[in-house]
Structures are given as structure tokens and as C-alpha cells.
Amino acid sequence: MPVYKAPVNDTLFVLNDVLGLERYNNLPGYADATPDMIEAIVGEAAKLSEEVLFPLNYSGDQEGCVRHDDGTVSTPKGFKEAYRAYREGGWLGLAVPEEFGGQGLPYVLHCAVGEYTSAANMSLMMYPGLTQGAIAAILVHGTDAQKQTYLPKLVEGSWSGTMNLTEPHCGTDLGLLRTKAVPQGDGSYKISGQKIFISAGEHDMTDNIVHLVLARIEGAPEGTKGISLFIVPKFLVKEDGSLGDRNPVSCGAIEHKMGIHGNATCVMNYDEATGFLIGAENKGLNAMFVMMNEARLGVGLQGLSIAEIAYQNAANYARERIQGRSLSGPKAPDKKADPIIVHPDIRRSLMTIRAFNEAGRAFLLWTALKSDIAHRSPDEKDRQAADDILGLATPILKGVLTDKGFEHAVMAQQVFGGHGYIEEHGMSQYVRDARITMIYEGANGIQALDLVGRKLALNGGRAVMALFKEIGDFCEENRNDEQMAFYTKHLKKGLNDVQAATMWFMQNAMAKPDNAGAGSTDYMHLFGLVVLGYMWAKMAKAAQAGLAAGDSAREDYLKNKLVTARFYMERIMPETALRKARIETGADTMMELAAEAF
Amino acid sequence: MPVYKAPVNDTLFVLNDVLGLERYNNLPGYADATPDMIEAIVGEAAKLSEEVLFPLNYSGDQEGCVRHDDGTVSTPKGFKEAYRAYREGGWLGLAVPEEFGGQGLPYVLHCAVGEYTSAANMSLMMYPGLTQGAIAAILVHGTDAQKQTYLPKLVEGSWSGTMNLTEPHCGTDLGLLRTKAVPQGDGSYKISGQKIFISAGEHDMTDNIVHLVLARIEGAPEGTKGISLFIVPKFLVKEDGSLGDRNPVSCGAIEHKMGIHGNATCVMNYDEATGFLIGAENKGLNAMFVMMNEARLGVGLQGLSIAEIAYQNAANYARERIQGRSLSGPKAPDKKADPIIVHPDIRRSLMTIRAFNEAGRAFLLWTALKSDIAHRSPDEKDRQAADDILGLATPILKGVLTDKGFEHAVMAQQVFGGHGYIEEHGMSQYVRDARITMIYEGANGIQALDLVGRKLALNGGRAVMALFKEIGDFCEENRNDEQMAFYTKHLKKGLNDVQAATMWFMQNAMAKPDNAGAGSTDYMHLFGLVVLGYMWAKMAKAAQAGLAAGDSAREDYLKNKLVTARFYMERIMPETALRKARIETGADTMMELAAEAF
């Protein structure tokens, strides 16, 4: 049977030892987040994840969601009750301002908690996950009245939210979208059209569903410049806040998917449904991107979550499964065979996943901290600098943590041999669930293009230069620290590669943009390798500081950090040279064939 | 809707232009395989695959197999009829000696055909696929009477075969197996025990099922030295060849798997079932390895098959799906957007898969030719040399073509964006089906260990030295050929890396075997990259010969081969340096953590 144990110690190591969260108590909400408070919160989240959410993960996958003839949708057995426990714990509003019913705590804590809950039950957590996106969009772009009408209900979780972008003929290229909005003269619009792939589009967990829908106002320009964002509630909301008429928006079908069976992925039909403009007319994409950017961090988080639960189960299996003998002689001579964890090739898999997960967790929380600074710091320069890094890091975090999350779920499944292919062991579900993270909220090829085509050059390359400088300075500062030399040597090599690749784009992609597209995925991974390497160097430094301070209770724990850091530097980091070499071959061979020749 | 078109031209290019099959007409069966005959056979196989097998692939996955309360198993609708068409076409016996009802044609042709049929319907083709293994084992190890009793029925396909190795507590480590065999004094044995993961263990397609079962004769030594192989037919066979009593071997359950739903993967219970020893007492593993080695080639073939069908569907989708504009300006200005095949990142995926598939096909058929030479050549030296390469190539072919086959099915699925995650498009099935190929017939970690731990050192490294020499000679011979310089330069670099890694093992793994285990998977892939690079160099040479000969009908086709060869050399081959670097870091970091620390 699958198991899950929230990695509380690792979270606390990153928050306290690596990021030094207490140093940020000038930020709103951070003063309340004392080390004790943080430990209590992640401890509670761990309990909820392990005891309430996780036990429904496998059954939710097996049972799936059911759409009934009247268009209602039932979620798997137990989901409603588990969702209630989640929302009654106040988890939805953890980082939402107190004036709308939230707790105003750091977003970094929200992400720490989110890793556990998504690992325990990704399908279930998508329902409140979509609500988070709706909250973010309404917070930034809603009118005061919209905020008052929708936010408290969304934050308490009695209503949920959705994002409606995709149509059958358009996903990435939203300029093609056809859903139309006809103004009614009273400030409202009639929305008509079909949306597909709508996660949590219809379900039985909340009293109301607040759809955020991209549509084109009649007469608006073609392309992306004529798209507006609308709030389309399932039940219209009366003046007094109570629920009124059922809006003609309905679930036409639920998709038959490879995974995340516990989440209802809906075809949504809008048949002159009443909607309300949010944000400026024809500026819908801007408003949607507020949701999108937060959602992308949330998807990167899911990649980490699934890789972590897959890792834990593989490690358990490797300790328990008795098969064959160690190459260096029996390790369990009293038994008929050794546990397979004695085999180097099994350890290669476990160490690889572990090295990515620990660095991925640090990268996620480091990025979330940037988000807090960007949104909460009183210092404008700090805000801008953090926002620069946040924008740069988002596509890397989404693309790399999900590509690797899936790859490592597969690697963990492999540890089980044939048993990994049988659904009952749960590994297949992790692989099937993880697969969607590479696709939704912008397929990873789009993340790579966002990075290379937009984020690199933004503001004259300010963000990328700042990050290269930060990493370079770290190497420089630790140059004479003997204990750090091994890590900074490898990190510096990776940094050189990503800088060279960046330079190559500057010299070769201006005149020939295909050269940027051809190298974009390699560049995203190259950058990811370096950022994760930077996280490992920071973690190695923190571990050494802990050891030097005589932290005997964590001595083994901290030493294991150093071993894993070494593993990452030795075996993973050298991939930067390959990625750079590929980028430098450019687009020629891949563009040469005629389309019909494929 | 998914599509499949058998890549007949690519098969013929490899057989005729690259391998020059007509040069081998000294081998039995090859004289009959004239170019016209070959073209006719692969053409017929293409038709069967496209028109009969493929239309049942998706429905078979959706419907799956059903075990009834009486232990019988129904296969998906249409499978029985399609199987009948397959067996009536004589495909099972294509390469089986004529004396047992086969056609005695080259095994290389059997593999060429197998690629198409497995691509079209892998689950369905596993039923006769297991029969092939049984035929191979009985051909080599059976008594004359056993051959007469079983082979004609297996070859005509009215009976099918299975391999019964795995038990709940043992898979890789067969020394642990417990199924027991009690001699009855009349030459027969009573077999009792439980086997799991038995593909095609029970079904409704054939009159009888011939189970080949590993078991331990009462009183036999423990471990692998006490294992024997038995024939246990579902229905006992009377003297006159007709079917007698039902043997007490039954399907207790069918597994609930991630994929290959159309194949019945059974728990088989043997309850004093009558069995007949095949091969020598306590030498069952040897006999089983005859089936296993052939099965491993068959699984590598499946990896290629799925990557090919996934590629074809991704290429079609990329040509048809209209989304966004080319980075270098609109390519379909009359439409609202360009087909996504204009995007370099999409082409990167397609070219990567294509480059592996074309080289993988060449590698498969090249290896199959070695098998024919090893088994059919009148010259003992030729037989031995070919057998050496066959043994070395088998784990590489199995491990690399399935790891890459799965990876590329995922890559092809990604081209579909969200639509790839919906079952109806078929891409999810390819991914789920391909996943098993990395696991069964020896998980790929075991293939890597077989390569590094057994095949490298066999006969003083004779095989590996011969292959390195063959590739080195090829580079040398073409050194002054300007048109080949680009390819041989990259190939030589890869060859140097694999030679250096081999040397590193010799120097570092004797005293410390964990160093071999730690590098084994990287070595398998390093070797695979070089062998596939060698195939590309040979294909480039053949394409240039065709162009030089003024083959105008294939001019574009041959030029595209050269582009793809260049792509492989530039973008894929540099991975050898990374693999070598990883191997050279050894086992230390991965063995350092205590098992409890994972």
C-alpha cells in the first residue's frame, strides 16, 4: 500500500537554515510567522495531508468523477468531507489579506503547505487550487464591489473558482478564441461559447462556482487585443449576497483522461450566461496572467509533490523488497537475499530523485519568498528586484520541476519492477497524474519560449543579469572557503555554460529567431540545472553552518545533505555542457525538412 | 483519430541499402528472400497491420480483458478474429524451420514484420509473441517427441505459449522461486505453486495453451542451481495429438495494469498440474534464457514500434493543428494561424524521435541479421563472431530502445498539448503501453547489469573488442571521404567515450564492483548512443551511395536521411561525454547514505 509522510524537516531546513525567514520580519505577515508558528503550521498541514487527504488518493483515482444526465457532477467518495476539513482549517486563506477573511501569512508558507497537500491528493487539491487563482485575479483586478461579493466566499471555500481559457480550436494561441460577450446595457454581458479542459468546472463540493472566463466583446478587435475577462457565477449573486438564479452555464461532458481522475475536467457550455467584466475591456489577457503566473508556480509545486511521494514509496519498497545480493557481498546474510537498496543502480535512481526534490523544494520556497517581497516589501527597489526574479524563475520552475517530476515518478515506478505497473501499488497513478503538469498552464515548450523569447530580454536583460550576478557573487564569496570549494567549482562551471548560451542567443537569435526556438527547451533545463545547483550550494553552506555550530541532533541529517549536494554536483550538473552544446547547433537541421517529410 | 502507416520504405532502405541482404544468400532461407519477395512480404504485413490489427488497438485498450468466475478470460471484441487473420497468414512461422510448419525465412524479416504488427496493436501481438518464445525454447531444448507434439500446433497458432517465471516474492532473483515439481515415476511431474505477471496466461484465442514453467524438483539444490523448466499444457495432449483432460492450472486473477489492457496478464495457479521436463534437470534457467534472449529483442522491437506510431500521430497533429505564428513570420498567411510544425521546438521533438526510430530500426535489423548468421551460417567462425555481437547487442537493444521508446512516446504526446492527455486521441495509450517495455523481460537496470557485469568481460572481452574494432574501422575507412567526415568525426568522438568508459570499468570495478553497478545504466545508454550513431553513419553512407548512383526517385528521401543523420550527430551524440563523466564519478556518493536515510 502506498504511503506518504510530509517532509517537515526538509521544509523547516529550507525556511530556517537556508532562507532565514526570520530576517524578513519587516514584511507584512512575517512577524507573525515565528519559527514556532511555522513549525506548528507545517505540522498541522502534514497531519491533514497524511491522515485526511492521502487516504482518498488512490480510491479517488479508481472511482473518478461522474457526470449525471442533468449535468451535475459527483466527485469521488470522501472528497466532499476531506474538502470540508481543508476549508474549515482555513488553509485556503492562509496567505490572503485579513480583510477578506484570510490570515495574511507569508505566501512562502502557503507553498510549503501546498507541497504536502498536493502530494497527498493532487486531484482533490486542484479544486481549491483553482479557487486560489480566482482569488488572485479578483484581488488584483476586481472592483471593490466584486471583491466584497466574491472574495470572502472564495476564501472561506464555500464557493470555488475556475479558469476558462481553452476552446476546442485554441489553447496556446488565445488570439483565436471565439466565445463572445454581448453587453446588456446594465453593466452585465451575455456570454456564449464553449470552453474545454476546465478543471473543477462542475462538482458537488461548494454552493457556488465562480467561473473566470475569457471572451470577446462584440465588435472587439481580432486577436489577443480584443479579449476580456468575465466573472460568470454558476448561481447569480443577489444584492444581499445570497444565491439567486442558476446561470445558463453547464457542464456538457467530463473528459476521459490519462490521470487526475479525481478532478472533474469539464467541457463548459455558456449559453447566454450572465457575466461581469473584470479588469479593463480588451485587457483580459493581462488579468488572466495574474492567475496564470500564480497557477504556474502551483503546477511546478505539483511536479515536486508527485516526485516526492513517488520517491518515498520507491525508497520504502527498496528497503523492503528482498531480491539478489549486493555486488560487494551479502548485506543481510540471515535472509535469502538482500533488500534491493543495496544495489548501486537502485540508489542511483533514489539519489537522483532526492537531489532534485530537495533542490526543487528550496527553489520553490526561494521563489515564493521573492513573490512575498515583490508584493509586500515597503521598499520599491526590493519589490522590483524580487519581481524581476519571480518573472524569470516562474517558467523555469514550472517547466523544470514538472519535466523532472514526471521523469522521476517514472524512475520511482521503475524501482518496483513489474509491481510498479500494477495500479494497486499506486506508482502508476503518480506517473499518470504527474503527466498533466507538463502540459497545463502552458505546455513546457511554451514555458521555454516565455523564458527565452520574453523574460530574457525584458528590461534590457535586467533580471537575468541580476540572477547571474547573485550566483556569481555567491561563488566568489565562498571561493576561499575550503569546504565550499567543491560545490562552487561545479556551480561556476554551470553558470559559465548558461551565460555562454545566453550570449549565443544574443548573437544568433536576433537575426534568426528560429535559433531561439530551437534552443529554448535546452536553455530552460540548462538554467534549471544551474538554479538548482545554486540551491544545493546554499544548502551545503547552511548544512556546514549547522555542523560548525555543533547541531548534534541533526548531525546525520546535515551530513546527508552534503552527500546529496555532492551527488548533484558530480552527476547532475555536468549536463549543462550538453545543453549548451545543443543550443549552439542552432535551428538549421531541424528546420530543413519539408512538413510533408515528417 | 489515431493513424498508423507501416514505414515500408524505411524498412526496405535498411534491408537493401544498408544491410545489403542479398549478399547473405549463402544462409538458409535467404536465397528465397529476394528483394521482390521481401517487398511483397513487408507490403502484406503493412496491410495486415494497418487494416486488421490497428483498428482494434484503441478499442482493445478501452475494453480490456475480462476474467469470468469460472476462470475463463475473454479478450476484447475483435481480437479473436484479428488473431485468426494473423495466424492464417502464416506470420507465426515466418522464420521457423519448414519441418515444423514454418517458412524458414530470415529472422530479420520476422523482426521487420514484427515492428509493424506491434506498432499497430502491441497488446494483441503479445499473444503470438509469447508463442514465439515457447517455439524457440522447444526448438532448442525439446526432445523430438516434444517437438512433434507441440511445435506444429504452436507454429500454426492453434495453440499458444507462455513463459512462467515470476512469483509474488521473486522476479529478477529467480533463485528464490518456490513452485515445486514432484516426479511421478512415469516421466511426468506434478507442478504446484503460484506464478504472477503471466502475459497471455489465459484467453479465448486458441484451443490450448502451452505453459513453460520454472519450478524446483523436490530435493533439488536451493538457489538458481535447482531450477528446472517444464511444459505444462492447459489441456493434456493425447498420444494421437488430440486434446485430453484439463490440467489443473488456472487463472486466479487478471492484473489491473497501467497499460496493455488488451493483453491478459494473469496470476496462474498450479495445483498439482501435470508437467513434463524440458531440457536437463536443474538446468531450467539455461533453457529459459533461450526464450528470454529472443523475447528481449522482441521487447526492444516494441519500444521502437510504439515510438514510431506515436511519432506518426504527433507529426500528423503538428501538420494539422493551427496555433500561433512562426517566429520567422507567417507561413500560412491565408489562415488565422500557422500549423504548429513551423515551430522549432515542435520540430526538435519530431526530429529527435525520428532520429532514434530510424537508427533504432537499423539497429534492430542489424542485430536480427547477426542472429541469423549466428544460427544459420555454415562457417563456425562467422557464427561465433555473430553470436558474440548478438549477446552484446541484446541488452543494449532492449534497454535503450525501450527507455527511448517510452521517452519518445511521452515527447510525441506533448506535441498534442492538452489533447494528448485525453484518452480519445490515443497518445495516452502509447505512453501507458510503452511503459511496460522498460520493465518486463528484465527491467532495464538488469539489462545494464547484464551488459556491464556479464557481456563485457565474456571470453576476455572478445565481443566488445570486435565491435569497437568494427566501428573504428568504419571511421578509418571513411576518413578521407569528404562527405562522410562530418559523421565519422562525431562517431569517433562517441567511440572514444565508450572506450574510455570501458577502460574505466576495467581499472575501477574489479576491486570495487559497486563502481560497475553505479555506472551501468549510463554505460548502457552511452553504448546505445554510439551504436545508433554507427547505424546513422552507415545510413548516411548508403544514402550518399544512392544519391551518387542517381537514384532520382528517392532523391528527397535520401537527402532527408542525411539531414536526420546530421541532427543525430550534432544534437544527440554529444550526450556520450555526459554519460562518460557520470560513470567516472563512481559509486561513492550513491552508496554513502544509510538505508534508513532514504
ipTM of the complex: 0.98
Q: Which band of pLDDT confidence, cut at 50, 70 and 90, is reported for residue A350?
A: very high
- Verify whether the Cβ–Cβ distance B574 to A581 is below 8 Å: yes
Instruction: Check pLDDT > 90 for residue A290.
Output: no
Are B336 and A592 within 8 A, CB to CB? no
Paired residues of A192 in beta bridges: A180, A271
SS3 A551: coil
CA–CA separation, B54 vs B394, rounded Å? 28
**Best of B174, B321, B322, B345 to mutate (most A CBs within 10 Å, chain A):** B345
Burial class (CB in 10 A: 0-12, 13-18, 19+), B145: exposed
The pLDDT tens digits for A351-389 are 999 999 999 999 999 999 999 999 999 999 999 999 999
Taking CB atoms and an 8 Å limit, are B517 and A344 in contact across chains?
Answer: yes
Beta-bridge partners for B273: B191
Secondary structure (3-state) at B271: strand
A565 contact partners, CB below 8 Å, separation of at least 6: A355, A487, A536, A537, A539, A540, A543
Q: How many CB atoms lie within 10 A of CB B330?
A: 12
With CB atoms and an 8 Å threshold, state whether A258 touches B428: yes
Supply the pLDDT for residue A32.
Answer: 87
The pLDDT of B549-568, averaged and rounded, is 97
Q: Do A518 and B348 touch (CB under 8 A)?
A: yes
Beta bridge partners of A251: A268
Angle between helices B107-120 and B284-320 (to 10 degrees): 50
pLDDT above 90 for B109: yes
Say if CB A418 and CB B440 are below 8 A apart.
yes
Contacts of A418 in chain B (CB under 8 A): 166, 171, 196-197, 439-440, 443
* Predicted pLDDT of residue B155: 98
Report the pLDDT value the prediction gives residue B1, as an integer from 0 to 100. Answer: 85
Cβ-based neighbour number of residue B38 at 10 Å: 22
Torsion A576-A581-A585-A589 (CA) sign: negative
pLDDT at B169 over 90: yes
pLDDT digits (tens, 9 = 90+) for A124-181: 999 999 999 999 999 999 999 999 999 999 999 999 999 999 999 998 899 999 999 9
Q: Is A137 left (phi over 0), alpha (psi -120 to 50) or beta?
A: alpha
Nearest CA in chain B to A565: B589
Cβ atoms of residues B29 and B104 within 8 Å: yes
CA-atom Rg of chain B in angstroms: 24
* pLDDT in the model for residue A263: 98
Torsion, Cα of B373, B379, B385, B390 (10° steps): 20
Q: CA angle A176-A178-A182, nearest 5°?
A: 140
pLDDT at B552: 95
Q: Which residues pair with B241 in a beta bridge?
A: none
What is the average pLDDT score of chain A?
A: 97
Query: Which residues are within 8 A (CB) of B178 and not within 5 positions of it... i.e. 6 or more apart?
Result: B167, B169, B170, B193, B216
Q: Which of B88, B441, B570, B592 is catalytic?
A: B441
pLDDT digits (tens, 9 = 90+) for B218-261: 999 999 999 999 999 999 999 999 999 999 999 999 999 999 99
Contacts of B309 (CB under 8 A, 6+ apart): B2, B4, B119, B120, B430
How far is Cα A273 from Cα A179, in angstroms, rounded to an integer? 11
Torsion (CA) B410, B414, B417, B420 in degrees, nearest 10:
-30
Domain ranges of chain A: 445-588
Is the predicted pLDDT of residue A248 greater than 90, yes or no? yes
Residue B37: its H or E element:
helix B35-48
Which of A5, A326, A421 to probe by mutation at the B interface, max B CB count within 10 Å? A421
Residue A464 near residue A502, CB atoms below 8 Å: yes
Q: How far apart are CA B193 and CA B174, in angstroms?
A: 14
Q: How far is A392 from chain B, CA to nearest CA, in Å?
A: 20
* CB-based contact B591 A344, cutoff 8 Å: yes
Which chain A residues have a beta carbon less than 8 Å from that of B453?
327
Beta strand A208-217 with A180-183 is parallel
What value does the mean pLDDT take over residues B185-194?
97
Residue of A441, A476, A477, A555 with catalytic role: A441
The 10 Å Cβ neighbour count of residue A588 is 15
Q: Do B582 and A593 touch (CB under 8 A)?
A: no
Nearest residue of chain A to residue B308 (CA atoms): A598
Q: Which of B259, B344, B424 minimises the CB distance to A514?
A: B344
**Residue of chain A whose alpha carbon sits nearest to that of B196:** A418
Nearest to A173 among B175, B324, B354 (CB): B324
Q: Does pLDDT of A437 surpass 90?
A: yes
Please, what is the end-to-end C-alpha distance for chain A in angstroms? 44
Is pLDDT of B32 > 90?
A: no
**Which amino acid, residue B483?**
Q
Task: Write the pLDDT tens digit of every residue in A173-209.
Answer: 999 999 999 999 999 999 999 999 999 999 999 999 9
Cβ-based contacts of A417 with chain B (< 8 Å): 171-172, 439, 443
Q: B570–A590: do the CB atoms touch at under 8 Å? A: no
Residue A294 has pLDDT above 90, yes or no: no
Residue B278's DSSP bridge partners are: B229
Residue B570 annotated in active site: no
CA distances from B461 to B399, B455, B467, B511 (A): 20, 8, 10, 18
CB contact under 8 A, B173 and A337: yes
Chain A residues in contact with B596 by the CB 8 A cut-off are 319
The closest alpha carbon to A358, from A11, A6, A3, A2, belongs to A11
SS3 B239: coil
H-run or E-run covering B237: strand B235-237
The helix (run of H) or strand (run of E) holding residue B217 is strand B208-217
Given CA atoms A165, A166, A169, A171 in this order, what sign does their dihedral have? Answer: positive
Which residues, in sequence order, are CB contacts of B217 under 8 Å at separation 6+? B180, B181, B182, B183, B189, B226, B228, B281, B282
Nearest chain A Cα to B582, which residue?
A571
Residue of B nearest to A311 (CA): B598
Count Cα neighbours of A412 within 13 Å in the Cβ-side half-sphere.
Answer: 34
- Give residue-wise pLDDT tens across range B348-401: 999 999 999 999 999 999 999 999 999 999 999 999 999 999 999 999 999 999
- Report residue A486's pLDDT band, with 50, 70 and 90 as the boundaries: very high
pLDDT at residue A1, as a whole number: 85
Taken in order B547, B553, B554, B555, the sign of the CA dihedral is: positive
Of all residues in chain B, the one with the smallest CA distance to A428 is B258
Question: Mean pLDDT over residues B51-58, rounded?
Answer: 98
pLDDT tens-digit profile of A51-67?
999 999 999 999 999 99
Tell me the C-alpha distance between A39 and A272, whole Å. 49
Identify all chain A residues contacting B197, using CB atoms and an 8 Å cutoff. Answer: 418
| Cβ neighbours of residue B69 closer than 8 Å, sequence gap 6 or more | none
Phi, psi of A105 (to 5 degrees): -80, 170
The whole-angstrom distance between A487's CA and the closest CA on chain B is: 14
B451 phi/psi in degrees, rounded to 5? -65, -55
List chain A residues with CB under 8 Å of B516.
327
- B103 by DSSP, 3-state: which? coil
CA distances from B425 to A399, B354, B499 (A): 24, 20, 44
Contact between B414 and A444 using a beta-carbon 8 Å cutoff? yes
Is residue A286 predicted with pLDDT exceeding 90? no
Residue B292 pLDDT: 85
Minimum distance, in Å, between the CA of residue B357 and any CA atom of chain A = 12
B414 near A167, Cβ under 8 Å? no
What is the per-residue pLDDT for A289? 82
Q: Which residues of B touch A566 (CB under 8 A)?
A: 589
pLDDT of residue B289: 83
The tens digit of pLDDT for each residue in B120-144 reads: 999 999 999 999 999 999 999 999 9
Q: Which residue in the set A171, A327, A410 is minimally distant from B418, CB to CB? A: A171
Chain B CB contacts of A515 under 8 Å are 344
Whether B328 and A514 lie within 8 Å, measured CB to CB? yes
Compute the nearest-CA separation of B3 from chain A (Å).
Answer: 14
DSSP assignment letter at B336 = S
Please answer whether residues B313 and B296 qualify as being in contact, where contact means their C-beta atoms are separated by less than 8 angstroms. Answer: no
For chain B, the first-to-last Cα distance in angstroms comes to: 44
Residue B494's alpha-carbon distances to B237, B565, B573, in angstroms, are 55, 15, 7
B171/A435 CB distance under 8 A: no
Return mean pLDDT, chain B.
Answer: 97
Q: Do A327 and B578 touch (CB under 8 A)?
A: no
pLDDT digits (tens, 9 = 90+) for B278-287: 999 999 998 8
Q: How much is the pLDDT for A57? A: 98
Which residue, A491, A495, A528, A474, is CA-closest to A360?
A528
Partners of residue B439 in chain A, C-beta under 8 Å: 414, 417-418, 420-421
Query: How high is the pLDDT of residue B294?
Result: 85
Dump pLDDT digits (tens) for A9-35: 999 999 999 999 999 999 999 998 899
Which residues on neighbouring strands pair with residue A215, listed in sequence order? A228
